[in-house]
Amino acid sequence: MSSVTPLTITGGQLVLPDGGVTPGAIRCVDGHIVALGDVAPQPGDRVHDAAGKVIAPGLVDIGVFAIDKPAFHFGGITRAALMPDQDPPLDVPARVRFAAQSGKPDLWVHPFAAATRDLAGDRLAEIALMRDAGARAIATGRAWIADSGTMLRLLQYAAMLDLVVCTHTEDAGITGCAVATSGEMATRLGLPAAPAAAEALAITRDLALAELAGARIHFRNVTTAAGLDLVRAAKARGVPVTAGVSPAYFMLSDLAMAEFRTFMHLSPPLRSEADRKAVLAAVADGTIDVIGSGHDPRGPEDKRLPFADSEPGMAGAETLLPLTLSLVRDGVITLGRAFALLAANPARLLGVNAGRLEVGAQADLAVIDPDRPWIVDSDKMAASAGNTPFDKQPVQGRVLALFKGGSPVGAKKRAAS
């Protein structure tokens, strides 16, 4: 007998898999959705009144660099796909197995297997054994695999195992030690810079190799107009390619670097205003499949340094939902499309039975007030470090209740905030 009390969430606005939003309730038993729509609680159910707010699937965040449960719970994230860039890297089955268990009991963790040993980009890791240990995909990590032969062998192996390869999108031979995109802002600030074309060159090669191998490939962050055009064209000719982006790239351009704050040091670096607008268009037209936080908390020892010496990355879990909802308010996408980007599409990419409100799916649910205002404050974030480029920015959209497998999680933190 299950120890999880059946759950019924009543009086909400259900975000359905077809993109529609309709009034109704949802009932969950043994960790799965059993009914939704005109549903009444049964005797013994835990009942949560959504009070007219949105009932949505819990967010599935692809490509995080740390398991930061307080931040994930605050942001409505019930599943996190962990990048292999750990210390030590996730390049052997035992580490993958440990990572897959690390979220219990209140977070699903889906590790990505390191593509190469030590993420060095040369010798393939034991990917099949890591798949058996719980890896849901393969990732090259923060870096691009420069050797085309190694990348082709990786893609061929991945195709045989039916695993998607998640890759970084910058040609390392061009970017070198760059921390900014070539242009007026980088010149004014005197920062090491690389042309935005480094992204298109990396995507061009990897698309060609993926087609040759018959493999599925996912570009974790596509941030330039040229790169997006390549993905768009590949999709049109039937290549099994998906693309992701983090909110920073549709919210900010390299103009945000003017104050020289290292919170703006990201990887890839912030792009031009024209590229930012191209990302918005790609989110709207379906070229972008996934919006992920890229959650990478960095403390003062990594960020309170000269810009070129600081580490890239941002704490993104808490702002993922409200920044994506800003696209809904601006008319760029619908609410249904927002949760396809945040939950359904990443769950499908990982091959997990979640990310949608549908009978039989796992009961990972969030009750959300999409209009609730709050101010991002790097000093008060739930994350282990508050390195956000959106510090002191007003946003809208808060998670009021979160459920993993029908069980409430993170309630204490939300009540205190």
> What are the DSSP E strand ranges found in 254-332?
290-291
Q: At 89, which amino acid appears?
A: P
pTM greater than 0.85: yes
Q: Tell me the pLDDT tens digit for each residue of 96-153.
A: 999 999 999 999 999 999 999 999 999 999 999 999 999 999 999 999 999 999 999 9
411 has a pLDDT exceeding 90: no
Sign of CA dihedral 308, 310, 315, 319: negative
Q: What is the DSSP string of 379-406?
A: TS-SSSS---TTTT-EEEEEEEEEEETT
Distance CA 282, CA 331 (A): 14
pLDDT in tens, 228-271: 999 999 999 999 999 999 999 999 999 999 999 999 999 999 99
What is d(CA 6, CA 28) in angstroms, rounded to the nearest whole number? 6
Residues 194-237 have pLDDT tens digits of 999 999 999 999 999 999 999 999 999 999 999 999 999 999 99
Mean pLDDT of 53-71: 97
* Banded pLDDT at 72 (limits 50, 70, 90): very high
Domain parsing of the chain, residue ranges: 58-350
Here the tokens at position 378 are: 């790097």
What share of the chain has pLDDT > 90, as a percent?
A: 96
The pLDDT assigned to 4 comes to: 86
For residue 302, the tally of other CB atoms under 10 A from its CB is: 18
State the alpha helices, DSSP H only, in 44-92. Answer: 69-75
3-state SS, residue 78: strand
Superfamily grouping for domain 58-350: Metal-dependent hydrolases (3.20.20.140)
Looking at residue 410, its pLDDT comes to 76
Average of per-residue pLDDT values in the chain: 95
Per-residue burial over 255-290, b if 16 or more Cβ lie within 10 Å, else e, is ebbeeeebbbbbbbbbbbeebbebbbebbeeebbbb
